[in-house]
Structure 1
Amino acid sequence: MTVTAVGAGVRVRRFKGEDQAAVLDLIHRDLLLGRPVVTAAVLEQSFEQDELYCEVLISSTGEVQGVVSWADRAREDAGQVLWLHCRNDEQHLAETLLRHVLAQLGRRTVYAYAEPTVLAPVGLPVRNRPGTRRALEVCGFSGTDHARYLHHYLDTLSPRLYTIADLTPCPDAPGWQLRLRDRDGTRIGEACISPPIGGTAKLEWVSLAPQHRNLGHILLEQCLTNLADRGIQHVTAQLAAPDHPHHEAALQLHEEVGFTVIDHLHTYTRLRGGSITKAALFRSRRVVDTQLDAHRLPRISLSGENPASNRDEDQGRDAEAESQDCKASAQGVVAAAVLGP
């Protein structure tokens, strides 16, 4: 087992089974409101990836002070910092771990918090983790505002009945799908919710038919009411960053039904030598977008038909609906487009 001394009796070594309790404690201290508790099984699952390393920072007294998970993407001439946690989010501890990882990766481009993991979505919550944010910046990383993390505590919900709403298992992905119809049977919109974990569910995406652009609040209210009836206490969602053309409309809609912005999620990039230009930052953002595209949920047709089998007939209509839809990726980045006045 490789052990690296990093000064004053402090060392970095590979994660061992005996570190599990201390590492879980560090992770839980950084959990955002509404995030499920990380179990030992989930932590073990986070290690199931090729070319991935998990290392801990050990004090002179033998205590685990921090932990970092990183990946060597040698074939892509790049590296990834997947997640990092340290005692009290202290900047000097996070900086020590980051410098250790960068020393292993050499002068490659390194991305941080740019991939979803079983522990967390894409992005570092910069409000909750200011020490880690400053450590990344000191180590030459440049941040990109990726998304907003929202939370709704369903005990505050005032039920609003709307009788024609169906909550069923998603046909092509884990979780639930809510379909809202008008009283004449016309489809209004849909929402997809992740499988609940420990009383917490995640709103993955919502979509509205263009002619019902004013009914987004009803769709979300019915979604939340149905979840509350099933014992769900917390619902989380992610909205695309403010530079997305529909961010303000999406944020207003979610706040109207009781969501609160808890944190801002940022991704980070450190290019060769630690410098970054605007052009390089744009390219790095495209890398993150490409990674997200690989995990996106398939779009569910508002018509209830298979889009592939009706492609010629519905091409024009589907193109219009696609440009109007309010939807999100499997990582939960909601892009609300049809939330008119």
Structure 2
Amino acid sequence: MTRMTMRPYVPADQAAVLDLVNADRLPGQPSVGPAMLNEALKGADEGDNWWGAFGPPTVQVAIDPAGELVGAISCAVRAKDDAGVVLWLHCREDEAVAEALITRALAVLPTRPVEAFQFATALTQGLEALPVGHRPATHAALERAGFVGERLWRYMRADLPRPGLPRAEGALAVPDPDRPAARRMEVRQDGRTVAEAVIGPPKQGIGVLWWIEVSPGARRQGLGRAMLGSALDALTGLGATQAVLYVDDDEPPGGERDRTAANALYESAGFVEVDRLWSYTLRAAESDPTSRS
């Protein structure tokens, strides 16, 4: 195995780390530039309050014997429970580099358990977990290190506009008080909200549909499809040429959060699956070096 040197990130590494990050860019994700990387290095993400729960990230890079920067990993400690968190990792899907980075992160993090790919960072448009289809070497390296993975999200995208969809009467995009960078759309009947959608303003022409919800009494009337049409219209009006969304379809059909209907709606509207997203946890007992062979 090729020996690598691990050291902390320094500003001179910026161009090499950007190359690594963008080598992993998925369809529907913006190209990462210096500003986005700087936000991720600080542990910041516009409009996302998850970052307030963590201390400043530690970013380590891997250098091969030829002196080339071949990998980078960011990790932090969560304030409320002292759990370690791997925020992002990029290595051009070289499994040996991924393993070296994970080993270094586990040595740097002073605590257990350790979670990996649980939250979106400033490097993406809401990509909260690892796309295993595009990142198989990172997935394998995490499992080899003892992490247990769980499939949580379905990541989908579509080109805009989508002119064949109906529109919801009266649904206007207004600022969302819970997400300063987002817009909320509502349909009200008899003084109450019966349907809503939340969208994220486009980055590099890419908009995000965060969610659509229709109250139980208003379902099976086409309102969800109409809200989808209105939300995609709003994104188009904001300058988006494509849209992405995330479906939390980790429960089997018939469960409390069965997303069969949502998946069918998005597919019929022209959204296609890009990848399945996984998150990981390394429990305290699993992280004890004496427990491994």
The TM-score normalised by the length of structure 2 is 0.82
Give the RMSD, CA atoms, in angstroms: 2.6
Identify if the C-alpha distance between structure 1 residues 230 and 71 changes in structure 2 by more than 3 Å, giving closer, same or farther.
closer
Cα offset for 1:147? 1.1
Cα offset for 1:135? 0.6
Partner secondary structure for residue 46 of structure 1: helix
Aligned residue for 1:64?
Answer: 69
Aligned residue for 1:213?
Answer: 219
Aligned residue for 1:256?
Answer: 268
Question: What is the rounded CA distance, in whole Å, between the counterparts of 2:88 and 2:162 in structure 1?
Answer: 32
Question: What is the rounded CA distance, in whole Å, between the counterparts of 2:193 and 2:248 in structure 1?
Answer: 26
Cα offset for 1:210? 2.8
Does 2:88 correspond to 1:83? yes
Identify if the C-alpha distance between structure 1 residues 158 and 249 changes in structure 2 by more than 3 Å, giving closer, same or farther.
closer
Aligned residue for 1:94?
Answer: 98
Structure whose alpha-carbon radius of gyration is higher: 1
Q: CA contact under 8 A between 1:159 and 1:225: conserved in structure 2?
A: no
Aligned residue for 2:250?
Answer: 242
Give the 5 Å matches for 1:158-177: 158=164, 160=166, 164-174=170-180, 175-177=182-184
Cα offset for 1:30? 0.9
Cα offset for 1:137? 0.7
Structure 1 residue identity aligned to 2:204: G
Q: CA contact under 8 A between 2:62 and 2:70: conserved in structure 1?
A: yes
Q: CA contact under 8 A between 2:209 and 2:231: conserved in structure 1?
A: no
Cα offset for 1:42? 1.6
Aligned residue for 1:118?
Answer: 122
- When structure 1 is superposed on structure 2, of 122-131 and 227-236 the one drifting more is 227-236
Deviations 1:238-257 (A, max 9, x none): 11133153221211111121
Deviations 1:204-256 (A, max 9, x none): 12221333212211110121123223321121111113315322121111112
Question: What is the rounded CA distance, in whole Å, between the counterparts of 2:95 and 2:163 in structure 1?
Answer: 38
Deviations 1:8-58 (A, max 9, x none): 552011111111011111111112211122221121111224242101111
Q: CA contact under 8 A between 2:165 and 2:269: conserved in structure 1?
A: no
Structure 2 residue identity aligned to 1:210: P
Question: What is the rounded CA distance, in whole Å, between the counterparts of 1:247 and 1:159 in structure 2?
Answer: 20
- When structure 1 is superposed on structure 2, of 251-260 and 240-249 the one drifting more is 240-249
Deviations 1:305-331 (A, max 9, x none): xxxxxxxxxxxxxxxxxxxxxxxxxxx
Does 2:30 correspond to 1:36? yes
Q: CA contact under 8 A between 2:59 and 2:75: conserved in structure 1?
A: yes
Unaligned runs of 5+ in 2: 44-54, 289-293
Identify if the C-alpha distance between structure 1 residues 122 and 161 changes in structure 2 by more than 3 Å, giving closer, same or farther.
closer
Aligned residue for 1:143?
Answer: 149
Aligned residue for 1:54?
Answer: 59
Aligned residue for 2:278?
Answer: 266
Aligned residue for 2:48?
Answer: none
Identify if the C-alpha distance between structure 1 residues 56 and 220 changes in structure 2 by more than 3 Å, giving closer, same or farther.
same
Question: What is the rounded CA distance, in whole Å, between the counterparts of 1:270 and 1:157 in structure 2?
Answer: 46
Question: What is the rounded CA distance, in whole Å, between the counterparts of 1:264 and 1:275 in structure 2?
Answer: 26
Cα offset for 1:96? 1.2
Unaligned runs of 5+ in 1: 1-6, 277-341
Deviations 1:106-147 (A, max 9, x none): 673211112232224321111110010001111111101111
Out of 4, 19, 39, the residue aligned to residue 25 of structure 1 is: 19
Partner secondary structure for residue 196 of structure 1: strand
Structure 2 residue identity aligned to 1:207: E
Does 2:203 correspond to 1:197? yes
Partner secondary structure for residue 134 of structure 1: helix
Q: CA contact under 8 A between 2:154 and 2:247: conserved in structure 1?
A: yes
Question: What is the rounded CA distance, in whole Å, between the counterparts of 1:242 and 1:76 in structure 2?
Answer: 25
Identify if the C-alpha distance between structure 1 residues 37 and 157 changes in structure 2 by more than 3 Å, giving closer, same or farther.
farther
Give the 5 Å matches for 1:122-137: 122-137=128-143
Q: CA contact under 8 A between 2:162 and 2:269: conserved in structure 1?
A: no
Partner secondary structure for residue 276 of structure 2: strand
The number of residues matched between the two structures is 268
Question: What is the rounded CA distance, in whole Å, between the counterparts of 2:265 and 2:216 in structure 1?
Answer: 16
Q: CA contact under 8 A between 1:51 and 1:73: conserved in structure 2?
A: no
Deviations 1:252-272 (A, max 9, x none): 111121211211111101112
Structure 2 residue identity aligned to 1:136: L
Runs (4+) off by over 4 Å: 159-163, 184-188
Identify if the C-alpha distance between structure 1 residues 160 and 185 changes in structure 2 by more than 3 Å, giving closer, same or farther.
farther
- When structure 1 is superposed on structure 2, of 46-55 and 189-198 the one drifting more is 46-55
Which is helix-richer, 1 or 2?
Answer: 1
